[in-house]
Amino acid sequence: MKSNTLLIRLLALAVAPFLTDCATTPKTGAAQPAAAVKAAGKEKAPARAALAQAGEKEDEYAAAEISDPLEPVNRGVFWVNDQLYTFVFKPIAKGYQLIFPKPVRKGIDNAFENVKYPVRFVNCALQGKFKRAGQETGKFFVNTIGGVGGIFQPAEKIPSLAHVPAEDTAQTLASWGIGHGPYIVLPLLGPSSVRDTVGLAGDYAANPVNWPYLYWNTGDWNIVPPASNTLRSMPGQFETYDAATKEAVDPYLSARSTYVQNRAEEARK
C-alpha cells in the first residue's frame, strides 16, 4: 500500500508542473495571439503548397534562431507529448471547462496569477527594473485587498499599474547575456531550452503555489495547489499549442519557431 501511495505521489509531482504558467512554453500571454498564429498558418499554407509544386525548397522557420542538436530525440519527445495532450490532458481540460463557467475560470486564473507575485518581483529586482518591481508590489496589494485575494483585478483600472509585463527567471538570465543554449522538448512541459529549463526551476521554486510541496511536505494535501494550478492553465495552453501546430506542415518546427519568437518578444518588453 505504501509503495502504491508513493507511486501516485511521484506521478502527481511529475504532472503538477505540466504546462503551468511558471513554465516557459509558448504562453498564454504569448507574443502572438492564438487567433493570429492560426490565421498566419492558414495564410502560409497555399504558399507552401505552391512552392512545393514548383520544386522549390522553403525555409519558413529560419526566423527561429536556436540550435537544435538533439532534434531526433526532441522529435520523439514531441510526438509522445502530442499523444498525451490529445488523448489524456485535452479531455481533462475540456471537462474543466464544462464544469466551471468562463467567469469562474477567469477568477481562478486571476488568483493564481496574483499569488505569483514573488516570481515577478524578484526577477524585476534582479534585472534592475526597480520601478517595475514597485508596480508589481502595488498590483499585488491592490488586487489582494480590493480584488478579494486576487480573484478580481482592480489594479488593471489604475493606469500606472495596468498591463505591467511579467518577468521570469529565464528573462533575467537573458538580460544577463546568457543565451538559450540548445533547444529541448521537455516531457509533458514541451518546448524549452537549457537556459529556460533553469529558469523554469527558479520560477517553480519561487512560486508560493508550490511551496507546500517543496518546503512543507507533511501530507497528501500539499499536492493540491500545484495540481490545481496545472488544471486551470490547461485550456489556454492547449489553445496556443493548437494554434501553433494545427495548420503547420511540420508541427515540430512550427512549435519551435513559435516558442523562440514568443520568448524573444517577452524579453523585449
pLDDT, residue 214, reads: 80
State the CB neighbour count (10 A cutoff) for residue 22.
Answer: 24
Q: Give pLDDT tens digits for 2-23.
A: 444 444 454 444 444 444 444 4
pLDDT digits (tens, 9 = 90+) for 125-152: 999 999 999 999 999 999 999 999 999 9
What pLDDT, on a 0 to 100 scale, did the predictor assign at position 264? 87
Cβ-proximal residues to 127 (8 Å cutoff; 6+ apart), any chain: 167, 171, 172, 175
- Encode pLDDT of 72-86 as tens digits: 999 999 999 999 999
Domain ranges of the chain: 66-268
What gap in Å lies between CA 78 and CA 153, rounded to an integer?
36
pLDDT digits (tens, 9 = 90+) for 207-266: 999 998 887 766 677 888 889 999 999 999 999 999 999 889 999 999 999 999 999 888
For residue 265, the model assigns a pLDDT of 87
Averaged pLDDT for residues 81-103: 96
Q: In the chain, what percentage of residues exceed pLDDT 70? A: 75
For range 53-71, the mean pLDDT: 58
User: How large a percentage of the chain has pLDDT more than 90?
Assistant: 66
Tell me the pLDDT band of 36, cut-offs 50, 70 and 90.
Answer: very low
Mean pLDDT, residues 181-203: 96
Span 63-77, average pLDDT: 89
pLDDT > 90? residue 184: yes
What are 190's strand-pairing partners?
186
Under a CB-based contact definition with an 8 Å cutoff, are residues 107 and 147 in contact?
no
pLDDT at 49: 42
pLDDT, position 218: 65
Average pLDDT, whole number, for the chain? Answer: 81
